[in-house]
Chain A
Amino acid sequence: MKTILTGNHAVAYAVKLSRVKVVSAYPITPQTTIVEKIAEMIAKGEMDAEFVNVESEHSALSVVYGSALAGLRSFTATSSHGLLYMYEMCWWVSNSRLPLVMAVVTRTIGPPWNIHTDHTDLMTLRDSGWIIAMAENAQEALDLTIQSFKISESLNLPFAVGLDAFVVSHTAEVVDVPDQETVDEFLPERKQAYRVDPNDVFAVGNIADNLETMRMRREMALDMEKAKGVIDEVGREFGEIFGRRYGLVEEYMVDDAEYIVVMTGAWSGDAKEAVDILRKRGIQIGLLKLRYIRPFPREVIERFDDRKILVVDRSFSMGHRGTLGIEVGNVVDCKNVVAGLCGVDVGFEDFKEMFERFVRGELGEVEWWI
């Protein structure tokens, strides 16, 4: 059914359609309307789940850690400072190899206080063992959330669905909301590698041998590599059922491109328009949208090592370069533009100018777009 939804409400509907049983969250702008919508659906009896009000994000993730350990499909959502406040638990969840899903509505980290989008918060999860996806629009936010449960549960790794503050979270768009029956067909009952059960006496997480713990981390790293195939497979299956195919990346006019722009998130839409304009002028440029930050689509990027590459970043690693600039730069040579930090608007005109300068060879190694 096609309807008009904000990105946040699209996530809420996806959570309902995924038959989540426990939701716990602490409000933070711009995430709040996700869980408000869920709380409303539960209160109206439209969704069969329990909503747990907590006093902090640390507790929000702790509650869903507990419910997920007990075998219940669980969800939380946060932004920025909320993510940082729950950071310890993020690692506890992933190192416990526990499938669960969290929406991260990307928001600038203070001070000064700022509620607008910036990907730095989401990027802090990179090393933790969470699968990290980034939606471009409300439809992707909904679709990725539904897929996230399947992917997370088949790999025993938690999943963060990112969406940009306001640009996606609070912008109403036409969204195709699938029916329950079709989602049920796509998404089976929750599965997980182990489940805490009063009748099965074991401990989770007590002190272990150093070498064995390191082996556990290596297995996690290997499973992250395996995740690439699972993500593409689940994305393909999703496409067959719902008509919208997903995968690690979206390739936009890259096949014959001499110049390729790599980026992630909502602004990819504006950037694609700029690509169209340059194409009309005969410039062979394309866009590679990273739908996933972890696992990192290294092999896809390697395919383009004979092209000129520009990475446009909405997050920065102090003392080095843009976060994605580092990531992509590890695979191929690239120029790096850091733009749109702290919610600064970057639109079609900016991208047009940026890409023109890139093509003319005017961009330095790292350029701040201010």
Chain B
Amino acid sequence: MDLRCVLLPGNPSCQGCPHAIGLKALSVLENPIVVVPAGCTTIIAGFNPKQSIDLPVVHVPFASAPAVACGLSKAYDNVVVWMGDGATDIGFSTLSGSAIRNDNILVVVSDNEAYMNTGIQMSGTTFWKAKTTTTPAGKREEKKDLALIMLMHRIPYVATASVGYMRDFVRKVKKASKIKGFKFIHLHSPCPPGWRFDSSKTVEVARMAVKSGAWILWEYDGSFRITGMSRMFRDKSKRIPLTEYLRVQGRFKGLTEEDVRTIEERIDEVWKLLDVLENTINKA
């Protein structure tokens, strides 16, 4: 896989940072402009007069990113928004507005399931029961399914991806770059300090999420399909136990059996829904 180095070495990202892995995929884009709202990547991008991202970057306030990208897209192709789940929460109406306009942009949400840049606070996509500094007893709120919500905007391309499966992610970015209109990729990005696991385990944890069925790789390009490794895990018996995925992360310390059952039920519901989508939105 030919990946140009987009994020230059010696940047301020934490050890084992999933965004740093994910950003590599942008190297397959031709002459992109990257719009970055506030978040971890704001820091990772470095300090004036230097920057660590070897692409044109526009730093913008939290809720504005897809709209700024829309403005840039009036002059240029290949405008990309690289944002976190925080910017997605606070800027959800901006994201939705951009999607219904079918702006010619690609939005990648690199989702580490909490507001990490401010120190691990709960977000809309924080995993069920996960501990954050604002949910010290575990998340009681629901987890929103961002990519499915975006799918319902009837945009030409929506996908989920994982930093544990870069080839799948890169293929999706490439595919998205060839489609005109609004493209959305929801990238699963396990965060070592935020999820409380060792910095060497980022890729392993990301893969365990997929192998346990907790994160599902799929794609919609007119047809809906489960993709990559996740195809194998339609069959529940082939998955690794969910507890294996949860156990390696400090944020799930102290989960009860009932908590695990609740999470499992939620995951089963998602799989059922995706199954219906795969059988319904299918041009072939």
- How many Å lie between the Cα of A198 and that of B100 in the bound state? 26
> Closest approach, in angstroms, between the C-beta of B39 and any C-beta of chain A?
12
B58–A207 contact, CB under 8 A?
no
Q: Is B54 an interface residue (CB 8 A)?
A: yes
Q: Which residue of B lies closest to A49 (CB)?
A: B74
Q: Is B248 an interface residue (CB 8 A)?
A: no
Q: Chain A residues in contact with chain B, CB under 8 A?
A: 21-22, 24, 50, 52-56, 58-60, 62-72, 74, 88-89, 92, 196-209, 212
| B31 cross-chain contacts in A, Cβ below 8 A | 198-199
Q: Which of B47, B71, B94, B100 contacts A70 (CB 8 A)?
A: B71
- How many Å lie between the Cα of A135 and that of B61 in the bound state? 31
Q: Which residue of B lies closest to A66 (CB)?
A: B71
B59–A65 contact, CB under 8 A?
no
| B71 cross-chain contacts in A, Cβ below 8 A | 22, 24, 52, 62-70, 74
Q: Is B75 an interface residue (CB 8 A)?
A: yes
Q: Shortest 3 CB-CB distances between A and B: which pairs?
A: A66-B71, A55-B97, A62-B67
Given A52-B101, A72-B75, answer yes or no on A203-B67 (Cβ-Cβ < 8 Å): no
Q: Is B151 an interface residue (CB 8 A)?
A: no
Given A55-B97, A63-B68, answer yes or no on A202-B56 (Cβ-Cβ < 8 Å): yes
B64–A207 contact, CB under 8 A?
no
Q: List 19 A-B contacts (CB under 8 A).
A: A21-B74, A52-B71, A54-B67, A55-B94, A59-B67, A62-B94, A66-B69, A69-B58, A74-B71, A88-B63, A89-B61, A196-B58, A198-B31, A198-B32, A198-B33, A199-B31, A201-B54, A203-B58, A209-B48
The residue in B61, B69, B73 that gathers the most chain A C-beta atoms within 10 A of its C-beta is B61
| B78 cross-chain contacts in A, Cβ below 8 A | 198
B74–A22 contact, CB under 8 A?
yes
- How many Å lie between the Cα of A58 and that of B78 in the bound state? 23
| A74 cross-chain contacts in B, Cβ below 8 A | 71
Tally of chain B residues near chain A (CB < 8 A): 41
Q: Which of B35, B47, B64, B72 contacts A67 (CB 8 A)?
A: B72
| B48 cross-chain contacts in A, Cβ below 8 A | 206-209, 212
> Closest approach, in angstroms, between the C-beta of B101 and any C-beta of chain A?
7
A63–B70 contact, CB under 8 A?
yes
> Closest approach, in angstroms, between the C-beta of A286 and any C-beta of chain B?
45
| B65 cross-chain contacts in A, Cβ below 8 A | 62
Q: Which of A53, A60, A67, A201 contacts B56 (CB 8 A)?
A: A201
Q: Which residue of A lies closest to B43 (CB)?
A: A207
Q: Is B53 an interface residue (CB 8 A)?
A: yes
| A66 cross-chain contacts in B, Cβ below 8 A | 35, 58, 67-74
Which chain B residues in 56-95 approach chain A with CB under 8 Å?
56-61, 63-65, 67-76, 78, 93-94
- How many Å lie between the Cα of A69 and that of B74 in the bound state? 11
A198–B93 contact, CB under 8 A?
no
> Closest approach, in angstroms, between the C-beta of A201 and any C-beta of chain B?
5
Q: Is B45 an interface residue (CB 8 A)?
A: yes
| A55 cross-chain contacts in B, Cβ below 8 A | 93-94, 96-97, 100
- How many Å lie between the Cα of A63 and that of B60 in the bound state? 11
| A205 cross-chain contacts in B, Cβ below 8 A | 58-60
| A63 cross-chain contacts in B, Cβ below 8 A | 67-68, 70-71
- How many Å lie between the Cα of A235 and that of B228 in the bound state? 64
- How many Å lie between the Cα of A21 and that of B71 in the bound state? 11
| B101 cross-chain contacts in A, Cβ below 8 A | 52-54
Which chain B residues in 173-227 approach chain A with CB under 8 Å?
none
Q: Is B13 an interface residue (CB 8 A)?
A: no
B76–A198 contact, CB under 8 A?
yes
> Closest approach, in angstroms, between the C-beta of B105 and any C-beta of chain A?
10
Q: Which residue of B lies closest to A68 (CB)?
A: B71
- How many Å lie between the Cα of A58 and that of B96 in the bound state? 13
B97–A203 contact, CB under 8 A?
no
| A204 cross-chain contacts in B, Cβ below 8 A | 57-59
Q: Is B55 an interface residue (CB 8 A)?
A: yes
Q: Is B46 an interface residue (CB 8 A)?
A: yes
Q: Is B42 an interface residue (CB 8 A)?
A: yes
Q: Which residue of A lies closest to B49 (CB)?
A: A208
A208–B47 contact, CB under 8 A?
yes
- How many Å lie between the Cα of A242 and that of B74 in the bound state? 33
| B74 cross-chain contacts in A, Cβ below 8 A | 21-22, 50, 52, 66-67, 70, 72
> Closest approach, in angstroms, between the C-beta of B58 and any C-beta of chain A?
5
Given contacts A59-B64, A198-B56, A209-B47, 16 further A-B contacts (CB under 8 A): A56-B94, A58-B67, A62-B68, A62-B94, A65-B71, A66-B35, A66-B67, A66-B68, A72-B75, A196-B72, A198-B78, A203-B53, A203-B59, A204-B57, A204-B58, A207-B47
B94–A196 contact, CB under 8 A?
no
- How many Å lie between the Cα of A119 and that of B102 in the bound state? 37
> Closest approach, in angstroms, between the C-beta of B23 and any C-beta of chain A?
14
